[in-house]
Amino acid sequence: MLENLQQQPADKILALMQLYREDTRDQKIDLGVGVYKDASGNTPVMRAVKAAERRLVDQQTTKAYTGLAGDPAFADAMIDLVLGDVVARDRIAAIATPGGTGAIRQALELIRIASPDAKVWLSDPTWPNHPSIIKFLGMQSATYRYFDSETCNVNFDGMLADLENVAAGDVVLLHGCCHNPTGANLTADQWPQMIALLKSKGAVPMVDIAYQGFGDGLDDDAAATRLVAAGFDEVLIAASCSKNFGVYRERTGILMAIARDPEQKALAQANLNFLNRQNYSFPPDHGARVVTTILTDPELRADWEAELEETRLGMLALREQLAGELKRLTNSDRFEFVADHRGMFSRLGVSPEVVEQLRTEHGIYMVGDSRLNIAGLNEQTVPILAAAVAKSI
């Protein structure tokens, strides 16, 4: 049997990580992997997470399974964090999942059993796992223009023109905030226009929100998702706790399915429970319980929000520093967009040849499409990156 297996396509980011590990140079910079790092290059455990974990160790009396959907308190806490009160709770089905990736996978599985002929529309570009999972599941997909590589901003006219081709019942996957891999987001004026178009086409929105709190703040980053949720009878939302709570290895995520009414919600919930049972039975609980403890305890939540805000402002400062250094060294506004984008990522807009030159000559590692992780920088490495880019272009 095993001799019939074929090699699968290598993950470019994982391959880049391997090259970085094998690089023996003392001065090297990893801007490839999508993990938050502090100024020392560490991915810290947040203060509130440590406190919540200590409380769990002291108070938890069992490691028995949770329900198929996970702890209901986790769903309630995350629905409040992401959606606030814009949708009645009796319209929202939800399941805990192994990270945001698990939520994406379960959402696509739900689409496949509910509407097998639906086409899933993806931004060009998007997170590579989106098309990878869709292809693996044998689902139909299409892309809509999103990023203008010349201006390094959203190609909104192109986006709307492509979404005119969406058919009723198709699913359009949207990034709730901090677009991955570009960092370029729709403006507050553009979201309602895009929503109106999708409603006129009878499309079903699916929102991937993995970086809430990393862009403009918790509520501001959720604003677009809330606008979408309030505007449609049916919406799928995949949310991750990996970044904003720093619980990467705990694999903590949630899938929400907004239904037309409580009766449809009950049917959706039963199907979500079924999908969890088929894929992994009961979802992981430790990270979910940590997140719930933080969100429901005023003191822990205040400390978490304060540390998250420090993280967000630190990334914005790095963006401004990098844009300023590049402007000084290139004597142009070509890279001004870096300061305007949000989240962990931006695309520099340089060629794959320049990206390769940065790696081989300067020990600077970023993805081939010039996506770099802003959080992989610090005040000392920003000038090094800027000088290398200016020299390479």
Which active-site residues does the annotation give?
127, 208, 210, 243
- Would strands 171-175 and 119-124 be described as parallel, antiparallel, or unpaired? parallel
Q: Tabulate helix, strand, coil % of the chain (nearest 5).
A: 50, 15, 35
Q: How far apart are the first and last CA of the chain?
A: 50
Phi, psi of 373 (to 5 degrees): -90, 105
Residues near 230 by beta carbon (within 8 Å), at least 6 away in sequence? 86, 87
Query: Rounded to an integer, what distance in angstroms lies between the CA atom of residue 45 and that of residue 358?
Result: 31
Residues near 172 by beta carbon (within 8 Å), at least 6 away in sequence? 120, 121, 144, 163, 166, 198, 203, 204, 205, 206
Query: Rounded to an integer, what distance in angstroms lies between the CA atom of residue 182 and that of residue 372?
Result: 9
Give the CA count within 13 Å in the CB-facing half-sphere of 262: 3
Pick from 80, 90, 313: nearest CA to 219: 80
Q: Are 179 and 185 in contact (CB under 8 A)?
A: yes
Residue with tokens 């509130």: 48
Helix ranges restricted to H, 154-208? 156-163, 190-201
